[in-house]
């Protein structure tokens, strides 16, 4: 009797592990999965995971537009990858702003080794939405986010 319970438990663990692997897959194998993983890593304040999902060097080149949707006239300029990771975790301005809004991950467009994922941020209280296209490209065989470009603000 004990042996059959042990076998059943082992079989259950093997099946569970197989399902988790099959369903989870490699989050960096499709652009939409990378964006969804980004929000999960931000929620967990997982800077290591974010570093694997982001092309931090490219994000540092963003000096024309602030992706936190704040009202200041001048976009923030990040001088180190660590500053970007801090901004996307814990009490970072972008994390606080993005997580105060409803996030909707929409359509993905792939063109060779580049892709865009449409993400809508909705401020229900102000009846305002922000349309964005997260830019991704393949780096060492993995999709990485290199841009959080705001397209429009509706409201």
| Dist CA 42 CA 50 (whole Å) | 7
What is the average pLDDT value for the chain, to the nearest integer? 82
Residue 57 near residue 81, CB atoms below 8 Å: yes
pLDDT in tens, 14-62: 333 333 333 344 557 899 999 999 999 999 999 999 999 999 999 988 7
Query: Maximum CA pair distance of the chain?
Result: 72
pLDDT in tens, 103-123: 999 999 999 999 999 999 999
Options 3.55.40.20, 3.30.590.20, 3.10.450.50, 3.40.50.920; which CATH number does 28-154 get?
3.10.450.50
- The structural domains of the chain, with segments of one domain joined by +, span 28-154
pLDDT at 154: 63
Nearest one of 106, 109, 103, 97 to 66, comparing CA atoms? 97
Residue range 75-81: average pLDDT? 85
pLDDT at 41: 98
E strand segments, the chain: 102-111, 114-123, 128-139, 142-154
Bridge pairing between strands 128-139 and 142-154: antiparallel
pLDDT at 19: 32
| Dist CA 35 CA 136 (whole Å) | 9
Please, which pLDDT band fits residue 78 given cuts at 50, 70 and 90?
A: confident
């Amino acid at each position: 009797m004990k042996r059959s319970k042990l076998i059943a438990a082992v079989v259950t663990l093997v099946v569970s592990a197989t399902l988790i692997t099959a369903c989870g897959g490699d989050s960096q194998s499709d652009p939409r999965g990378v964006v969804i993983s980004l929000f999960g890593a931000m929620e967990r304040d997982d800077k290591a995971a974010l570093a694997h999902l982001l092309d931090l060097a490219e994000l540092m080149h963003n000096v024309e537009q602030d992706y936190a949707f704040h009202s200041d006239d001048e976009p923030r300029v990040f001088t180190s990858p660590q500053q970007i990771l801090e901004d996307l975790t814990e009490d970072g301005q972008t994390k606080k702003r993005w997580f105060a809004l409803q996030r909707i991950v929409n359509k993905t467009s792939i063109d060779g080794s580049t892709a865009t994922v449409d993400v809508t941020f909705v401020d229900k209280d102000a009846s305002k939405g922000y349309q964005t296209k997260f830019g991704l490209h393949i780096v060492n065989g993995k999709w990485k986010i290199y841009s959080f470009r705001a397209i429009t603000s509706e409201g």
